[in-house]
Amino acid sequence: MLFRSSRKALNEVLQKHLNAGGERISGNPFRVGDKIVNTRNGFFPTVPGPGHNEPETFVANGELARVAAVDHKVTTAQLDYPARTIKIPHGEGGPSWELGYALSVHKSQGSEWSIVLQVLDEYSGAKMVCSREWLYTALSRFTVACFLVGRLTTAAAMIRRVALDKRKPFLEELIQQ
């Protein structure tokens, strides 16, 4: 929980610095222009547009969007790849969208960024998930530069911990069925 709180706190600081002038409205955590990330697979009402006339659009966990408009009950967001605009209702089933300026390695899988700043966290919960594979995923997201922030001993411990051999995807059992 500490890591999650740290990411959320960092996102709030980044929002203030990177989108200070974004239009905002009381009761809506987002500002026009904010980068946001979906945290749960789901369907959202579609804003009709060229090639998008379906009433709902599927948005996967980890997809990023830009806030186009804010209201008391709805946030309108634009997604790329494929391009579409959705409405995010507030208060239904809890929040599934968060600020997306700072992402966890888990959320960044499948994405690519010009610059990656990776914190090598030392708290016990991070040590449970941080491994050679995790560090490789973090390092393989950048195209221009990657900065690791932390102790060299923490990075060395992550490199020594191989977690892939502990995975049990049950693929063999599924094939045999």
pLDDT (0 to 100) of residue 168: 66
Mean pLDDT of 151-160: 89
Convert the pLDDT of each residue in 45-94 to its tens digit.
998 877 767 889 999 888 899 999 999 889 999 998 888 999 999 876 55
- How many C-beta atoms surround the C-beta of residue 83 within 10 A? 11
Q: What residues have CB less than 8 Å from 22, skipping those under 6 apart?
A: 15, 31, 32, 33, 34, 67
Residue 4 has pLDDT above 60, yes or no: no
Asked whether 19 and 33 are in contact (CB, 8 A), the reply is yes
pLDDT band at 176 (very low <50, low <70, confident <90, very high): confident
Which has the higher per-residue pLDDT, 11 or 108?
Answer: 11
* Interval 154-174 mean pLDDT: 78
Residue predicted with more confidence, 129 or 92:
129
**pLDDT (tens digit per residue) in 14-27:** 999 999 999 999 88
- Gap between the Cα atoms of 41 and 55, Å rounded: 17
> Which helix H or strand E contains 62, and what residues bound it?
none
* CB-CB neighbours of 160 under 10 Å: 9
- Measured at the CA of 54, the angle between CA 52 and CA 57, to 5 degrees, comes to 85
Please name the residues in contact with 76: beta carbons below 8 A apart, sequence gap of 6 or more.
47, 67, 68, 69, 70, 85, 86, 87, 88
Residue 82 CA to residue 18 CA, distance in Å, equals: 25
